[in-house]
Amino acid sequence: MDRKEVFEKVTSILSDKLGVKQDKIEENSKLIDDLGADSLDLVDLVMALEEEFDVKIADDQLQKISTVKDVIDYIVKVKA
C-alpha cells in the first residue's frame, strides 16, 4: 500500500468520524486544532485506524501523533 492510498483511507476515516469534508483535510491538518477532534474522538479514530490498517497504535506512539501526516507516516512505517 503506497502513501497516496494510505492518505485516501485516513482522510476518509477522519471525514467520517469528525464530520469534516474529506477535501478539506490536508497532511498538515492538526487533528485537534484544525479538525476539532477531542479525546473521545481520538480513541474512536485509533480504533478505526487499527481496524482498517490491521495495526496496533500504542499509547506512547499516540502521544507523538498530532497531524494527519503523523498518522500516515506511522501507518506507512508500520506496514513497510
Contacts of 70 (CB under 8 A, 6+ apart): 64
User: Which runs of consecutive H residues, i.e. helices, occur in 1-80?
Assistant: 3-18, 39-53, 59-62, 68-79
Active-site option among 2, 16, 33, 38: 38
- Verify whether residue 38 is a known catalytic residue: yes
Catalytic residue numbers?
A: 38
